[in-house]
Amino acid sequence: MKIKIINKSSHALPHYETIASAGMDLRANLSESRILKPLERTIVGTGLFIELPIGIEAQVRPRSGLAAKKGITVLNAPGTIDADYRGEIGVILVNLSNEDFTINNGERIAQLVIAKHERAEWEVASELSSTDRGEGGFGSTGVK
């Protein structure tokens, strides 16, 4: 699938690192470094603008290494980019660590996954079919 992209950053286009990679790294597009204090959040621009076909979304997800090593994650993970959005791809980062984190220009801050999606049509009903699980939620399927 081909997706139109405008790159207003000085960085290379996102790309798959391996043949089996699901995501492509997004890089911070900053004129100067930014400090993210503990529990602080910020939107970091990427300089990227895309045109997705209808039926396709782009998901902005955390980078596991950044989360595990530094406590930095994407706040609304996964963030969804809809096919009709034409603005800059921004990443909402949050610092869940106890230390300041410096975001530098070109730093890999998130990953982008391109995915197909379905559109649902609601069918109003007065009852739903029964299952073994029933109304059990939030951990109800774990070992008892």
The ranges of the chain with pLDDT < 70 are 140, 142-144
Residue 141 annotated as binding? no
Q: What is the pLDDT of residue 144?
A: 54
Q: Compute the half-sphere exposure of residue 43: CA atoms within 13 Å on the CB side of its CA.
A: 7
| Structural domains of the chain, ranges and CATH numbers in brackets | 4-116 (2.70.40.10)
Number of helices and strands in the chain (H, E): 1, 11
Say what the pLDDT of residue 143 is. 58
| Cα–Cα separations (whole angstroms), residue 25 to 34, 59, 109 | 19, 12, 7
3-class secondary-structure state, position 67: helix
Q: Which residues of 7-38 are buried (b: 16+ CB within 10 A; e: fewer)?
A: eebebeebeeeeeeeebbbbbbbbeeebebee
Check the annotation: does 131 bind a ligand.
no
- pLDDT in the model for residue 142: 64
Task: Say whether 35 counts as a known binding-site residue.
Answer: no
**Residue 29 known to bind ligand:** no
CA separation, residue 45 to residues 21, 27, 119, 141 (Å)? 23, 8, 29, 39
Q: Any known ligand binding at 65?
A: yes
